């Protein structure tokens, strides 16, 4: 199963430990995470179910290409990393 890990700054707001989730695409994998942690969805996806502008997802250290439908393929051995951009001054 793909391993999904969230950036440490997200963990300040929600409990989101690394987890192994079923899924053949980023969408399927994230939906499995959101089924267990519904509050997390609003931090990652907008009201159109697309990635928020300040969120990046990487599969095996490469940024995903499809930020709208989230169709990038993940394998059972994939590492999916969800990162939220930081801002401030």
User: What CATH code is carried by the domain that includes residue 20?
Assistant: 3.10.20.30
What confidence tier does 8 reach under pLDDT thresholds 50, 70, 90?
Answer: confident
**Count: domains in the chain:** 1
pLDDT score for 87: 62
User: What's the domain range around 11?
Assistant: 3-84
pLDDT digits (tens, 9 = 90+) for 9-61: 887 788 889 999 999 999 999 999 999 999 999 999 999 999 999 999 999 99
CA dist 52 and 68 (Å) reads 10
What confidence tier does 89 reach under pLDDT thresholds 50, 70, 90?
Answer: low
In a domain, 89, yes or no: no
CA dist 64 and 23 (Å) reads 15
In a domain, 75, yes or no: yes
Could you give phi then psi for residue 28, rounded to 5 degrees?
-60, -40
Could you give phi then psi for residue 53, rounded to 5 degrees?
-60, -30
pLDDT score for 88: 57
Q: Which strands, in side-by-side order, build the sheet including 62-63?
A: 19-20, 3-6, 79-84, 55-59, 62-63
In a domain, 65, yes or no: yes
In a domain, 46, yes or no: yes
């Amino acid at each position: 199963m793909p391993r999904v890990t969230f950036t440490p700054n997200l963990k300040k707001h929600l409990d989101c430990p690394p987890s192994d989730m079923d899924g053949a695409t980023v969408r399927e994998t994230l939906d499995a995470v959101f089924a267990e942690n519904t509050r997390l969805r609003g931090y990652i996806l907008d009201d159109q179910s697309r990635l928020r502008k300040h969120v990046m997802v990487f599969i095996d250290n490469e940024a995903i290409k499809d930020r709208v439908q989230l169709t990038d393929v993940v394998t059972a051995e994939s590492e999916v990393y969800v990162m939220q951009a930081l801002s401030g001054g």
